[in-house]
Structures are given as C-alpha cells and as structure tokens.
Amino acid sequence: MNDAATESLANSLTTGDRRALARAITLVESTRPVDRQQADALLERVMPKTGGARRLGLSGSPGAGKSTFIEALGSHLLDRDRKLAVLAVDPSSKISGGSILGDKTRMESLSRHPRAFIRPSPAGTSLGGVARRTREALLLCEAAGFDTIIVETVGVGQSETAVSAMTDMFLLLLAPAGGDELQGIKRGIVELADMILVNKADGDMATEATHAANEYRAALRLLRPATANWTVPVSTCSSIEGTGISDVWENIEKFFRVLGDENAIALRRAAQAIDWMWTEVDAMLGAALRADPDIAAKIPDLESQVRSGDLPATVAARTLVSGFIRK
Amino acid sequence: MNDAATESLANSLTTGDRRALARAITLVESTRPVDRQQADALLERVMPKTGGARRLGLSGSPGAGKSTFIEALGSHLLDRDRKLAVLAVDPSSKISGGSILGDKTRMESLSRHPRAFIRPSPAGTSLGGVARRTREALLLCEAAGFDTIIVETVGVGQSETAVSAMTDMFLLLLAPAGGDELQGIKRGIVELADMILVNKADGDMATEATHAANEYRAALRLLRPATANWTVPVSTCSSIEGTGISDVWENIEKFFRVLGDENAIALRRAAQAIDWMWTEVDAMLGAALRADPDIAAKIPDLESQVRSGDLPATVAARTLVSGFIRK
C-alpha cells in the first residue's frame, strides 16, 4: 500500500465506510513490518478525527450474559440514533459477531444493524499485543464516526487492567448469585468497576439478583471508588426482558456528565496515552532484545539459573541488556 | 572495593554481622556504576545462602498502628528465638528505626534487640527503583541469617503490588472502623491480602473492631482468595495489650505449612524471580534509552503531541525506539 492508498483508506474510513474500517483494523493487527508502517501512517492521518466516543469497558463472570447484555444495551442506544462499535480484547475470547464467527445466537441483531460494528479479538497474539492493537482499533472506530465503543473482556484474566487503561468507564456484569458462584471473578476486577450490574434479574432469579446487588453494595462501601467523585452504582437488570437497561444508560450518561464537567475524562485520556506510549517503548525494546539471536540464545540458561535461585535477577538482567546495548 | 573486599564483606555478612549487612544494603542502594558492579558481585556470591526466610508483606491504613503491630509481632517471635528483619518499600515512608531516624517512639524495643534489624526505605528514588533495591536488601538479610522478614508499605500507594511480588504472604492491617474511614485504603490492596487484621481491638474500640472484622469477612466471601487453597483469615488484635498476636503468628505458620506442603512457595518464588528479571531488563533498557541525549531531547515534544491526541502513542514510541536502536 502506498501513500495514495493510505490516503484513500483514511478518506473512506472517516466517511464511515464499514468495509474501510474493517480493512484498517486488519492493517493495524498485522505483524508484517510493511503493514505496520502503513498502519502508523494511517493512524497519524486520522488522529484529528478521534476522541469523540464514549469508551466503555465491559467485563463479567462467565455465564453473566455479556453478549445478550450488549445486545440489549446496544439496541437501546441504537434506538437513540447512536453508533456503536464492540471490540474484544481477550486473546482467548472470540466474542460475538453473529455472522462473523458463525455463532448466530450471539449479538445477532446488533451484527446486522447498519449503525453497529462488531469486531472479535485478533487471534494468536499475546495479551499485551492484543491490547495494543485494540487501542488502535478503538481510535479507528472513532475516526469512522462511532460515538459509543464497548471493549469487551471475559473477566477471568489479566486483560481487565488493559481494558480499564484504554476506556473512560468500566462496567462489571455479574450473574445473580452470591458467594461461591461469584468467586470465578478475579478479585482485582471488582476494584476496577465504575458500575456493577447484576444481570438476569428476571423470573425465578429476580429475588436472588436483588439480594446479590445488596451484598455487592455493602461490600463496595468498604472500598474506595475506582474513579474520584464517583460513587459506584450497583443495580439489577434483565437483558432478556429489557428491564433496567435504560437505567444503565442513564447512569453512563451521568458518569460522563459528572466527569466531563470537571474535565476529568480529558485528563484521564491524556494520562492513558502517555502510559500507552511508554508501554509501547518497553514492548518494542523488549522485542528488539529478544529478536537478537545472540541475546535470545542466552535466555533459557539465565532464566533457569534465576528460577533456581543460583543467579540474582539483577545480574541476569544486566547480562542480557549490556550484551544487547553494546552491539 | 575490590574482589577481596567483596569476599570479605560477603563473609562477614553471612556470619550475621549486622554492620556488614548495613554496609551491604547501602552498596545495593547506591546508584554509582562502580558500586553497582560490586553489589552484583556480592549478590552473586551470597545467593546460595538466600531463600531461608519467611517473607512477609505488611500494609495498612494510615493510623492502623503498623509500627506498634510490628513491635508486638516482632517481640512475640523474638521470644521464640527467631531473627527478624524489617524493611520499608515506600519512597515516602521513612518507617521505624527508633534510633536510626531519631523517632524514639517507633519500634524502640525492636531496634535495640540483637536479633532484630530495621532498615528504612532508601531515599530519593522512584518506587520502581526502591522496590528493586528492597528485593536485594531482602536477599542480603536472608544471607545474614534472618529467618523472618517483614517488608512494610504504607498502604496508600502503588507499592503494595511490588511488595506482594517480593513476599510469600501479604498481611493487611486495618483500624477498627468501617465505612468511610476505611476508604483511605486503596481498593486493590484488599485484594492482595492473605490475612486481614483489625488492630486496636482494645478498650472502647474492642466492639468496633469485632464489627469491622465481621464486615470484612462478609465482603471477602464475594472475592476469590489471593492465594489458591488459602482462605483469608480476618481477625482482631491489640498490639498494645498483646492480644491476638499469637493467633496471628499461628496463622502465618499455618499459611507456610499449607503452601509449603504443596511446594507452592517455591514455585511462587521462582515465578517472582523470573518476573523480576524481566522487570529489571525493561527498567535497564528504558533507562538506557532515556540516558541517550539525542533521544531524551525528543521526549518532551513527543509526549506533548501524544497527550494532546495529535500523535498516536505507537508512532511516538517507534520514533524513540528506532532512534535509539539505530545507533
């Protein structure tokens, strides 16, 4: 792809062409150096068009019903003429995407809607790599005019911190059961939440859902909120019956109103971008070190000595780094 | 310091000479390249003598009484002929050390005890730097024969993850008050705890302490334990009256028995050492990049463009890294 092609792709993308968006995301996901160069050029070009979306992170326990929740919330806001993009950040999670992945039961109506865009997680890379590419996909979605972006993660791994670091607000979706059944959630995830939703508050489960919400509300009182000046709301909803969904959206709007008024979102995004830059620097330097064949050959032996306690970690690290920098 | 001096220091250190230990820690804390080289040589030499201690992390809310608690727990285990070293990891925290820092009211009896060693946090460096040096100080304390090491942190910052990554077991000390007063604790810290202690369970506060412990116990049921196969005990104690302290120590012994039986401690330490090595690699590479004057000159402008959203973080990072590696 040459400069003209990049410009043409950028133009199609910023007019909201969905196929151009899909191609652009494929480009940033590519690991080929030539593609990477084009991806950088494309991103630079579209940067002025980014920043216009509400960036929402969503995580949940397995079985909490994330896909049906996204469908319900998505329908609600598509009815309000918003444009929704859904991205996934877990290397293990193949979300959604009805037609994309052939799983017709998941997000079927969203995936067919002209103002919705669903993109599964890029395959076969490390979490760090996936998170870096998902940040870029998010920028591309903004450049394409999507005003609401949900970054989904499965809620059992390390990816929630990464999602929290690229979004404005973090939603946690739980199944209506307390105690043991909730222990599938990693502890740190509850800590990140700006909003907690107990889903499946319908039929036989309605009472249990209310009870679980009360338990979480009590537990949260003992913890400092993830976001200053924001008290984490805990509520119930039913994605199937559609109850509580408009309250969810109202709470999201309230969050952006409260934090937007004091410019907190802009400051958070600026800090996130700087952190991201240095994370990229670390990742690129580390990758360059590991890609050096002389250095890479030393790693297994050094790791084995460090693991067994025979060699101090600092000394092993210095051996690798000084070998790399001297070249 | 030459090789003979390093050998002599290592020998004095491993016979338990406290002044040698203090000098060795000063050496690993030094940022002078020549000292660093000697520190590496010293660490390599004493590695076979390390690994023998129980490594305990301790954090707590401001006002929870960490110093008096460490005094109480320390006295208890010194009475059992154990050897205790106390290290601090917060750049902001100047712990302890009665005579060391002139604050005679803090850990006074411990600081005078022949089998106790108290070392404040190294000054004037970043958290990352302090954490890296504290890990090494911990190894030196083990080489000097200390069989119990408490790494203290103030509980309001980012340092708890670092402490958790260098210790076997993480203790959280809280004041006997629920709700708002506990919100001084950062959320993520509760998540790291292997044991929660409500201190000051004496006099007027005894009932409140019991109540706070019950609240925490209930909240913890909703979270997955920090350590597999270990249910986080929540108990009350009074450092001043000495009540509950022997239970604390029994719980610590139980933790090591349970996890030692399945070799979990050894596996955790091996994984911690590997993580530490790569953290050091990242830090050293990042420091080398920032120390390059041509690269450093570019940083302010790139950061400003990334902060304002004019330049993608990835592109800024690549500018820095390719400029550095090309040289």
Which of A225, A276, A311 is nearest residue B44 as measured by Cβ atoms? A311
Q: What is the pLDDT of residue B130?
A: 79
Q: What is the pLDDT of residue A108?
A: 79
Which of A216, A306, A325 is nearest residue B288 as measured by Cβ atoms? A325
- Report the percent of chain A where pLDDT is more than 70: 87
pLDDT category at A123 given cuts 50, 70, 90 is low
Other beta carbons less than 10 A from residue A18's beta carbon? 16
Q: Quick one: DSSP state of residue B82?
A: -
From A65, A54, A73, select the one nearest A248 (Cα to Cα): A73
In this complex, is the C-beta atom of A77 within 8 Å of any C-beta atom belonging to chain B? no
Spatial CB neighbours of B214, under 8 Å, sequence gap ≥ 6: none
Distance CA B70, CA B76 (A): 10
| Phi and psi torsions of B197, nearest 5° | -125, 125
Q: What is the pLDDT of residue B144?
A: 98
- Residues found in chain B: 327
Rounded to whole angstroms, what are the CA distances from B118 to A213, B85, B96?
46, 6, 7
- For residue B117, the cross-strand partners are B85
Q: Check pLDDT > 80 for residue A97.
A: no
- Sheet containing B84-88: give its strands across: B116-119, B84-88, B148-153, B54-60, B169-174, B195-198, B234-236
Please list every residue in chain B whose beta carbon sits closer than 8 Å to the beta carbon of residue A40.
312, 314-315, 318
Average pLDDT, consecutive stretches of 10 residues, N- to C-terminus, chain B (327 residues): 88 96 94 91 96 94 84 95 90 41 59 90 69 92 98 75 92 76 59 90 89 83 76 93 95 94 90 94 93 95 95 95 86
Q: What is the pLDDT of residue B160?
A: 83
Q: What is the pLDDT of residue B131?
A: 83
Please list every residue in chain A whose beta carbon sits closer than 8 Å to the beta carbon of residue B321.
281, 284-285, 288
Distance CA B15, CA B12 (A): 5
- Are B193 and B232 in contact by the 8 Å Cβ rule? The answer is yes
Q: What is the pLDDT of residue B159?
A: 80
Mean of per-residue pLDDT scores for chain A: 86
Other beta carbons less than 10 A from residue A43's beta carbon? 23
Angstroms from B138 CA to nearest CA on chain A = 12
Single-letter code of the amino acid located at B270: A
Q: Where are the extended beta strands (E) located within B208-316?
A: 234-236
Distance CA A172, CA B196 (A): 25
Query: Tokens in use for B88?
Result: 């601090």
- Are B139 and B133 in contact by the 8 Å Cβ rule? The answer is no
Distance CA B42, CA B9 (A): 8
From B243, B161, B165, select the one nearest B209 (Cα to Cα): B243
Q: What is the pLDDT of residue B215?
A: 82
From B281, B284, B280, B255, select the one nearest B268 (Cα to Cα): B255
pLDDT category at A109 given cuts 50, 70, 90 is confident
Which of A43, A307, A309 is nearest residue B312 as measured by Cβ atoms? A43
Distance CA B25, CA B36 (A): 11
Distance CA A1, CA A11 (A): 15
Single-letter code of the amino acid located at B15: T
Angstroms from B250 CA to nearest CA on chain A = 26
Query: Tokens in use for A211?
Result: 């009870």
Q: What is the pLDDT of residue A142?
A: 98
| Phi and psi torsions of B315, nearest 5° | -70, -40
Q: Which ipTM was obtained for this model?
A: 0.84
In this complex, is the C-beta atom of B185 within 8 Å of any C-beta atom belonging to chain A? yes
The Cα diameter of chain A in Å comes to: 68
Q: What is the pLDDT of residue B180?
A: 44
| A321 to B136: CB separation less than 8 angstroms, yes or no | no
Distance CA A137, CA A279 (A): 17
Q: What is the pLDDT of residue B158?
A: 67
- Are B235 and B246 in contact by the 8 Å Cβ rule? The answer is no
Other beta carbons less than 10 A from residue B99's beta carbon? 12
Query: What is the residue whose two structure tokens read 């940067």?
Result: A47
Please list every residue in chain B whose beta carbon sits closer than 8 Å to the beta carbon of residue A276.
306, 313-314
Q: What is the pLDDT of residue A99?
A: 31
pLDDT tens per residue, range A167-207: 999 999 988 875 544 545 566 677 788 999 999 999 888 99
Q: What is the pLDDT of residue A124?
A: 55
Distance CA A290, CA A301 (A): 14
Q: H or E stretch including B254? A: helix B245-261
pLDDT tens per residue, range A249-308: 999 999 999 998 778 999 999 999 999 999 999 999 999 999 999 999 999 999 999 999
* DSSP 3-state of A160: helix
pLDDT tens per residue, range A200-231: 999 888 998 998 888 888 777 776 677 888 98
When pLDDT is averaged across residues A232-245 and rounded to a whole number, the result is 93
- Are A77 and A148 in contact by the 8 Å Cβ rule? The answer is yes
> In the structure, how many helices (H) and strands (E) does chain B have?
14, 7
pLDDT tens per residue, range A34-86: 999 999 999 999 999 999 999 999 988 777 888 899 999 999 999 999 999 99
- For residue B119, the cross-strand partners are B87
Q: Calculate ∠ Cα B167-B171-B172, nearest 5°.
A: 135
| B215 to A226: CB separation less than 8 angstroms, yes or no | no
In this complex, is the C-beta atom of B303 within 8 Å of any C-beta atom belonging to chain A? yes
Q: Check pLDDT > 50 for residue A118.
A: yes
B256 alpha carbon, distance to own chain's centre: 18
Q: Where are the extended beta strands (E) located within B120-274?
A: 148-153, 169-174, 195-198, 234-236
* DSSP 3-state of A153: strand
